[in-house]
Structure 1
């Protein structure tokens, strides 16, 4: 499984933990499953021996979900910088505010920064992504999907899309023969409207929107998303 549609990923992790625990399957949203984001709960492919990795890639059902690249960035920004998160503030927030908003003497905590009005703007976030000094690969929440899920190297059995999340999730559960055991909640379908996307990117200069498109162009092309002419043509 490879998915970074913010809250949708939370549900899929709960789904995987429920399968791991076995029948009778627990509700993927159940608190009894514990913290689904605890990295020790689910092993990633690179944690296995090479022979086991090859076996899993050959015999396991492999799937991932993808969303419009620019929509993903808005979602990632809202999720990580739209509210005070101490780990994000320490790892990214302070750096972004210092280097792209000329802030100095920053508060020690995210809560104090929010209360004082020192918040990362969407444009600050985009400047951070476009800076050649920013280390790649990016954080998984805003990393290019083709770098995150490697669709050119792994033969996936199923690719789902945020825009048709309800239908695709149901189809995947059908492929896995789990439709009687699980139901993907409709509430997790989270999309940003075209007008809202325009509003978000209105604070980003045209030249930077074009640079950003080049940064994520492979995702647009690989997964059939149209070029957002309304954002890129001045």
Structure 2
């Protein structure tokens, strides 16, 4: 009995500590938004950006829960969670998923479609719990490159949409990589700096989810995601619903079969990046770094001095 009581006290303490950390993160974001003049005072830009983001939110009205999905930052896990609580993760749909007949985001959108009435959704936001999952920007960029652009096989859509254009714009005939069809990581970064062309997998958080406008109360980080999403599931009374379907609880763990490997690969990829180029990339994502309290220094140390 005493052990059970002690465990319960420990869990409450963890939840309380996490609540304080979420409040600190929220305050950091809003302070940075205010310091940069991006706190909604520019009303036309504020309204335009807000309405654009609102259309892509996942809105769970029963639980008053709102999530802004950020690709390459825990999105697959939470697409599945929304599919489960929405009641569409049936055995039949699991088979369809395994055969590639449907994607997880399509399944989740069956229950939580993009809103057609942005103004009504905006009003609902005021009484909802809003959350976002973020990740170190340089790690997310690397993850997006490795997943979508590094290899052409199985990624023809991204090769046609981005890969071949990156190669054509960055490569000379006598380039060392002339026989390589796919862009290198350095070429990808040059392309980003030159064109400022963003896909949803590497678009900055500030553009993708409008944190200054939406003022997320819950900000989870990929670096500590397992314990933090367990906190959120506990806070929102989601554990029973999830464990009913997945008795092992593994859904609240990283669903990437290769694990969170980008940090382990960081030095291998970033050591070939000229320091000035990485400084330029940082400037593209500077707001993300500042709002979500990430430091670029470790990656600057990896970069190649020229």
Which TM class, normalised by the smaller chain length?
A: 0.7 to 0.9
Q: Residue 224 of structure 1 aligns with which residue?
A: 293
Return the index of the structure with the highest Cα Rg.
2
How many angstroms apart in 1 are the aligned matches of 2:134 and 2:142?
Answer: 14
Equivalent of 2:94 in 30, 52, 67: 30
Counterpart in 2 of 1:140? 200
The answer to whether structure 1 residue 161 and structure 2 residue 224 are counterparts is no
Q: In the aligned structure 2, how far is the partner of 1:163 from the partner of 1:74?
A: 15
Structure 1 residues 232, 215: closer, same or farther in 2, change over 3 A?
A: farther
- 2:273 pairs with one of 204, 224, 227: 204
The structure carrying a bigger helix percent of its residues is: 2
The 8 Å contact of residues 64 and 160 in structure 1, kept in 2 or not, is answered as yes
Q: Is the 8 A contact 2:69 2:132 kept in 1?
A: yes
CA pair 16-74 structure 1, distance change in 2 beyond 3 A: same
Q: Alpha carbons of 1:157 and 1:26: their partners in 2 closer, same or farther (altered >3 Å)? A: farther
The alpha-carbon distance between structure 1 residues 162 and 21, as it changes in their structure 2 partners (threshold 3 A), is same
For 2:126, the equivalent position in structure 1 comes to 58
TM-score by length of 1: 0.80
Give the aligned partner of residue 20 of structure 1: 86
In 2, Cα distance between equivalents of 1:9 and 1:124 = 26
171-180 or 65-74, larger mean C-alpha shift = 171-180
Tell me how far 1:233 sits from its aligned partner: 9.4
In structure 2, distance between residues paired with 1:2 and 1:230: 32
Distance 1:160 1:14, change over 3 A: same
Of 168, 181, 193, the match for 2:263: 193
Partner in structure 2 of residue 175 of structure 1: 235
Q: CA deviation at 1:123?
A: 0.6
Contact persistence 1:96–1:128 (CA under 8 A) = yes
Q: Residue 143 of structure 2 aligns to a residue in which SS?
A: helix
On the 8 A contact 1:5/1:162 being kept in 2, the answer is no
Distance 1:232 1:152, change over 3 A: farther
- TM-score, normalised via structure 2 length: 0.62
Residue in structure 2 matched with residue 3 of structure 1 by the alignment: 69
Correspondences of 1:68-87 after superposition (within 5 Å): 68-84=136-152, 85-87=155-157
Secondary structure of the 1:203 match is: coil
Distance across 1 between alignment mates of 2:192 and 2:204: 11
Helix, strand or coil: the match of 1:59? Answer: coil
Note if contact 1:5-1:67 (Cα within 8 Å) is conserved in structure 2. Answer: no
Quote the offset at 1:72 in angstroms. Answer: 0.4
In 2 relative to 1, CA 68–233 (structure 1 residues): closer, same or farther, beyond 3 Å? same
1:75-117 Cα offsets, whole Å, 9 max, x none, are: 00011013321110111011011111236xxxxxxxxxxxx63
Q: Distance in 2 between matches of 1:233 and 1:222?
A: 27
Q: Distance in 1 between matches of 2:290 and 2:237?
A: 31
What does residue 130 of structure 1 align with? 193
Structure 1 CA distance, aligned partners of 2:172 and 2:105?
33
**Separation in 2 of the partners of 1:134 and 1:120?**
16
Unaligned runs of at least 5 residues, structure 2: 1-66, 174-178, 243-250
